[in-house]
Structure 1
């Protein structure tokens, strides 16, 4: 009676409640888990979290409760008599314990519980289940080979029930998938699909089979597997049914298949009310169908429909944005493409491979977007500048009518929102909702939680925009400087509207007064506009090979009375574009124009002697830069600075200019020190912000300059490397090379030290001859004592000793006098 009492009490009390808690926990796991249908589905729906769980903690209270019930059953009802367990429910209790730990993602303790069953209860009717769960745990611990070995042995030696056989073969399939044995996985999934008692599992296994066939390229076999999912119809979750139909459509043969039947199937899926939760995927697939059939307009429409469903599938949103971006890119709408790529990146995992690929595309469009904005804005302003007074008034009257219409619409929206808000706050029982219902819950449940009520959310958004305007999500967003302008047009931007009074807002003369009138300002706008068009021409020609677009930009430059520096490069680039487009007549005219009007230019020389085009032009920007860089390496800093200034004017507007500016800044730093270097670097960073050189200068300004700004000398006793320095003034520079040669010969006579020399420029008037290789300050200070009597006669020039860190400081800050006056020598 005691044994029966404990067995019944364990089964119908602790274990019953434990399994209830376990099932609740599994359902919550399934609800929270979102399958990624863009990849092969895992056999088991379970999200593995990377959170570290401390002893005594649990990721899910239901599993914690299930474990407590299992432990309670073992502690209160175990009957271990003479080494034998007399309660037949204890194996069930340990199985529950292992399952609770497994789903709570504590796999090592779970493995311990399953192994205990195999050790302690070898005759249990649950022994096969324990073996299967043990191998499930091994798979989670990445012991796939061991799991395959044990599961194959179980299948060979034991006669399993149908469900146990389905569980064992499905887990074996997962192990094969983990080890990239796709064929074996398909075979095991076939067995699992035939023997499982759960249609949910059958639908999932069949769908995974279809996915695996697709990875192997067997579309017909994949479609057969998807058909078996579709045949289950309402017996399996609808997501499997819809996904199987969409996967079949992806496998459709557009060359030989019935396109009309395919479109009818897609339309049927779209119109079925039961499919509304899956419209994001359906719209995307319809867009794919139209894109393949060259119906780009319809494709764009359906991709946008898919985005408007506010899908939770971030990868689907990323694909929609990327496709729209690629289409805009193909249509040469680069600014719009950039916006789509921005949205794509926001839906991808940061720094993942797809993210980096899209970011590279987006970065290539940065300059295009910037210069297109400049050209568009300045063109608009200059167009208004040149309009007659009556046409200006007509233009702004049209604008004012639009503003009034928009204001009226906004007013109506706010009135509707306020009415709805009043209903929500006064009549709390809208739609039959319980006024005492909890404010939490899920969106599809009855709840008055603010963010689950679309009316209050919409009203809140309108109120926020009305009070604060458009603000980006960042720190200190309430500062007035953080407001986002809806337009880059300085005439019609948000600041103008915000600062306008009610009367000014609808007065054409108010806007006309904002149009530039000073000649200097107008000329500056025209200059920036022409330079932007020139840069766009170069980018379209060199980077994107859009020769027609490039041609239109260069022609626009020449029509707009550009600066002299832009005329010749624009004409030469047009000549090259005419050649590439096969427009021989235009190319000949452009060539003759350059040769006759600019005979001394390097372009004319190249065009007059075509054979030189294949040779390295000594006057080309690249050759000039190489020559200057070589001079920089030879410490001819003054010459480099002077030549850089000349060549910057010669090559103004060409891609080589930022390189020359950065080289010039470096030479300035070497010759004049920290402060002039900081100013020169700042100029490069600001002026050429969209170039690699400008970005490099920005990094120098942000990271390097703060580290070297200190002028404080360190104690020489802390250093382990010293230099002996011979100083030469400008009048002595002719002797410096001879002195270095003599010093080098003398140093060869010094034993036990490996010493070398170099010449360093300090500033325009001072240079140094340096002796390197001394590790001790005392030895360095008594350098002359290392020389023989004969050698001392050759080296009579005075010297000073300085540690390497302090030498670096005097070269950076040009504070030699401060060092020498600091009693360091």
Structure 2
């Protein structure tokens, strides 16, 4: 019988307990039940989720030690978070738990909260929103605690978190005001004091009050219970002292970080060492002690994750002690660590680029600057600075490539047959050695079963399907051995191709050709027999005098351009002098001789070589007396920027002729000026003007050829780039020569055209004047005329302003009777779109034979 009462008794007690634990009754049991349940169930799980989210944030966050660290490790993103979305599921879970605790365990009775855990719930809610970067809702949660739970023991924490949120919302002045008031009015201790002063320091940093920030960080460093935070605050102090220029104080702060040793994350200790080294006085302090310290850091196994930074600093040491070769070695070692620090990689590449630039190895410098750009944020200030440096090298790299390639070809052309055989035999021996090394590597790969893997079932996947053919046991690019093998096979088949579109085309050229001959990879094109036959390579050396002269001409022009670039852009006068002297010794074309001699004269003056300058000056004056250069040297005071024969003024005058539709004259004079000022920076402008005039006079096909010539010949000049843009984007639009059908439903402009063959200018102007007089009498329409060139023999007098085809076809009916007698020349009507087509493609006869109605 006793057992029969047991179950009902349990049920009754449970019901009694539930009823007595109502959130609406202010009873001892209710208060404690909801407080304990909220604290040890909902809030416990919520805080666990919050800590998991913070841990994941810390793992994903990477500090930028090249700048002053933020007080708190939290990266704020600009993207907008929509309602219901979250950056981190852990914070979303924490928020849900906080909301659940409030909804199920809040005891708001008579306007007062009876559950003492509700302030914790709202604090958790605010923190979860804060770390999820929803700062406005977080601020609401913290403000609710201050409003509703003024007697809470968490009130100071809520105030601190509210100001943290204000700082994130960029309300720094408000945060400073509230935190200072909190510190004055409350006796904060331990972690609360550390949190308040550290956040005050962050607000001061944001408002550029560095002295005040250092003071607050000192307090925070002393009272915080977390050694992680202490190490971070001390390190930031050192950074701030460095910003103020107080190196001794900065070193003291860094020493305090180093003293913490393993109590704080090792990255702070290593960074403190490196920051101290940046403050090292190479003139007065012990260099050997610094080198020993760097070596100890390098050899310490615990520092392996930070070798990228240590190698970089060692490179800095050797660079500052003028050991350039060792500096280069350590910068490269830093790069080979595959560092995740993109700014560090950018600095390594930039320094290596600068070293090559200072040593006048401009092509290598350009390559390093390219690598620098890939590691910098696009369009940032550092990116733009390096981009400018790289752009300045564009021309010198281009012309150096031409000069080196063509020099090597001409050197082979001049070699006797016996020496050619010796030269190529050496090259073939190198090829055989490389082939043997590759063969040994392939055999080793096969022996080691490079791609062999054992799956979970114990089955072994095949390693190779024959020599040199990797099997698909794992994804190819996951295996570094097969990647290296693939690279070797690619180079063996295709050569060292540049990374660009259409890389397989032989016309794109190949890097590392034998002497640069032919612009194609003659090694890749060779058969097995030809590959090791010297005669095969000898047969590729040009023999036709026309081809050799063309190569020599291109090389000479490259020398001239390099001389100008080194002189004008880089102020490398010795290099410029060498290029001009080499040019004059290479039997250059007549057009390059005088400008080269004049530039040499200017260089001699700049270098203080007055004797050489006098010889060059007399040579120009005596041997080229009628030239502009001789006039400049003979009467320098008479030459001014307003000289009507200067290239710039001649260009302006020619452009005025172009606007006046004197296209034939523009083309003729452009050719003359191009030859006269060959090598001058203004030549591409004359070429582009000539191309435009050619298109206006001869049509689309002639224009297309001229633009293509400019885009290839002046590829690195602004005019060449403009021509490339025209070729890619404008010409395809202009290529359509199909006439457009006239439509009455679409409003469009029409023109009335009077055609004149071989007419003199006076005749055209006379007719236009008469026509303008007649048009001025026309009512209801505002008409005007112009004289347009069609081709070398044909001109149009065009009437503009008609918007109706019927009116255009009955154009003469607009005239008064006396005016009809004045204008008797035949005419035709054309829409504006079709007029544009006949002017572009010069297909007037096709239009006259086509019905566009």
Q: Which moved more, 1:694-703 or 1:764-773?
A: 764-773
Q: Which moved more, 1:193-202 or 1:254-263?
A: 254-263
Aligned to 2:230: 202
Of 707, 717, 729, the residue aligned with 1:691 is 717
Aligned to 1:247: 275
Aligned to 1:445: none
Shift of 1:615: 6.2
Q: Which moved more, 1:539-548 or 1:557-566?
A: 557-566
Equivalents in 2 of 1:471, 1:379: separation in Å?
21
Is the Cα–Cα contact under 8 Å of residues 556 and 588 in structure 2 kept in the other structure? Answer: yes
Aligned to 2:483: 461
Shift of 1:37: 1.0
Equivalents in 2 of 1:667, 1:649: separation in Å?
18
Does 1:622 pair with 2:648?
yes
Equivalents in 1 of 2:327, 2:231: separation in Å?
31
Of 713, 718, 727, the residue aligned with 2:740 is 713
Deviations 1:506-559 (A, max 9, x none): 333333333333333333322222222222122212222222111211222222
Aligned to 1:359: 387
Matches within 5 A, 1:666-677: 666-677=692-703
Shift of 1:14: 2.6
Q: Which moved more, 1:783-792 or 1:364-373?
A: 783-792
Shift of 1:754: 5.7
Q: Which moved more, 1:238-247 or 1:497-506?
A: 497-506
Aligned to 1:272: 300
CA RMSD of aligned residues (A): 3.5
Is the Cα–Cα contact under 8 Å of residues 450 and 482 in structure 2 kept in the other structure? Answer: no
Q: Secondary structure of the equivalent of 2:786? A: strand
Q: Secondary structure of the equivalent of 2:249? A: helix
Shift of 1:501: 4.3
Shift of 1:302: 2.5
Is the Cα–Cα contact under 8 Å of residues 757 and 772 in structure 1 kept in the other structure? Answer: yes
Deviations 1:568-591 (A, max 9, x none): 332333233223323233333333
Is the Cα–Cα contact under 8 Å of residues 18 and 69 in structure 1 kept in the other structure? Answer: yes
Shift of 1:347: 0.9
Aligned to 2:548: 522
Q: Secondary structure of the equivalent of 1:760? A: strand
Equivalents in 2 of 1:139, 1:779: separation in Å?
71
Shift of 1:361: 1.5
Deviations 1:302-342 (A, max 9, x none): 22222222211111111111122122112211111111111
Of 597, 602, 616, the residue aligned with 1:576 is 602
Distance 1:790 1:499, change over 3 A: closer
Is the Cα–Cα contact under 8 Å of residues 377 and 488 in structure 1 kept in the other structure? Answer: no
Of 95, 105, 111, the residue aligned with 1:77 is 105
Is the Cα–Cα contact under 8 Å of residues 450 and 481 in structure 2 kept in the other structure? Answer: no
Is the Cα–Cα contact under 8 Å of residues 714 and 805 in structure 1 kept in the other structure? Answer: no
Q: Secondary structure of the equivalent of 1:561? A: coil
Does 1:146 pair with 2:174?
yes
Aligned to 1:327: 355
Aligned to 2:257: 229
Q: Which moved more, 1:573-582 or 1:675-684?
A: 573-582
Distance 1:503 1:730, change over 3 A: closer
Deviations 1:384-442 (A, max 9, x none): 2222233222222322332333333334444444555559735999xxxx99xxxxxxx
Deviations 1:769-824 (A, max 9, x none): 44555666666666666666666665555555555444434333334455556677
Does 1:11 pair with 2:33?
no
Distance 1:262 1:467, change over 3 A: closer
Matches within 5 A, 1:404-415: 404-415=432-443
Aligned to 1:118: 146
Q: How many residues align?
A: 807
Equivalents in 2 of 1:462, 1:301: separation in Å?
23
Distance 1:604 1:129, change over 3 A: same
Q: Which moved more, 1:795-804 or 1:6-15?
A: 795-804
Q: Secondary structure of the equivalent of 2:453? A: helix
Q: Secondary structure of the equivalent of 2:64? A: coil
Of 273, 282, 300, the residue aligned with 2:310 is 282
Q: Secondary structure of the equivalent of 1:571? A: helix
Distance 1:678 1:427, change over 3 A: closer
Does 1:554 pair with 2:580?
yes
Q: Which moved more, 1:520-529 or 1:594-603?
A: 594-603
Is the Cα–Cα contact under 8 Å of residues 353 and 369 in structure 2 kept in the other structure? Answer: yes
Q: Which moved more, 1:52-61 or 1:120-129?
A: 52-61
Q: Which moved more, 1:653-662 or 1:600-609?
A: 600-609
Return 5+ residue gaps in structure 1 as ranges: 436-448
Distance 1:231 1:74, change over 3 A: same
Aligned to 1:42: 70
Is the Cα–Cα contact under 8 Å of residues 756 and 773 in structure 1 kept in the other structure? Answer: yes
Is the Cα–Cα contact under 8 Å of residues 753 and 830 in structure 2 kept in the other structure? Answer: yes
Equivalents in 1 of 2:305, 2:518: separation in Å?
42
Q: Secondary structure of the equivalent of 2:521? A: helix
Does 1:543 pair with 2:563?
no
Distance 1:356 1:418, change over 3 A: farther
Equivalents in 1 of 2:704, 2:407: separation in Å?
35
Is the Cα–Cα contact under 8 Å of residues 417 and 458 in structure 1 kept in the other structure? Answer: no
Q: Which moved more, 1:119-128 or 1:465-474?
A: 465-474
Q: Secondary structure of the equivalent of 1:105? A: coil
Shift of 1:163: 0.9
Of 75, 90, 111, the residue aligned with 2:118 is 90
Equivalents in 1 of 2:594, 2:509: separation in Å?
42
Equivalents in 1 of 2:170, 2:829: separation in Å?
64
Matches within 5 A, 1:578-727: 578-614=604-640, 616-711=642-737, 712-713=739-740, 715=742, 717=744, 718-719=746-747, 721=749, 723-727=751-755
Equivalents in 2 of 1:287, 1:806: separation in Å?
68
Is the Cα–Cα contact under 8 Å of residues 759 and 795 in structure 2 kept in the other structure? Answer: no
Is the Cα–Cα contact under 8 Å of residues 716 and 802 in structure 1 kept in the other structure? Answer: no
Is the Cα–Cα contact under 8 Å of residues 341 and 358 in structure 1 kept in the other structure? Answer: yes
Is the Cα–Cα contact under 8 Å of residues 414 and 459 in structure 1 kept in the other structure? Answer: no
Mark the structure with the bigger radius of gyration: 2
Shift of 1:735: 1.9
Matches within 5 A, 1:283-302: 283-302=311-330
Does 1:179 pair with 2:201?
no
Equivalents in 1 of 2:539, 2:813: separation in Å?
82
Matches within 5 A, 1:743-754: 743-744=771-772
Distance 1:782 1:178, change over 3 A: farther
Is the Cα–Cα contact under 8 Å of residues 7 and 88 in structure 1 kept in the other structure? Answer: yes
Distance 1:704 1:719, change over 3 A: farther
Is the Cα–Cα contact under 8 Å of residues 135 and 147 in structure 1 kept in the other structure? Answer: yes
Aligned to 2:163: 135
Aligned to 2:96: 68
TM-score (norm 1): 0.88
Is the Cα–Cα contact under 8 Å of residues 722 and 804 in structure 1 kept in the other structure? Answer: yes
Deviations 1:232-285 (A, max 9, x none): 222211211222222222223344444444444434433333322222222222
Aligned to 2:25: none
Is the Cα–Cα contact under 8 Å of residues 314 and 347 in structure 1 kept in the other structure? Answer: yes
Distance 1:161 1:91, change over 3 A: same
Distance 1:156 1:743, change over 3 A: farther
Equivalents in 2 of 1:635, 1:325: separation in Å?
49
Equivalents in 2 of 1:354, 1:678: separation in Å?
39
Deviations 1:744-770 (A, max 9, x none): 555666677665543322222232344
Of 591, 601, 621, the residue aligned with 1:565 is 591
Distance 1:569 1:428, change over 3 A: farther
Shift of 1:42: 1.2
Aligned to 2:15: none
Is the Cα–Cα contact under 8 Å of residues 733 and 767 in structure 1 kept in the other structure? Answer: no
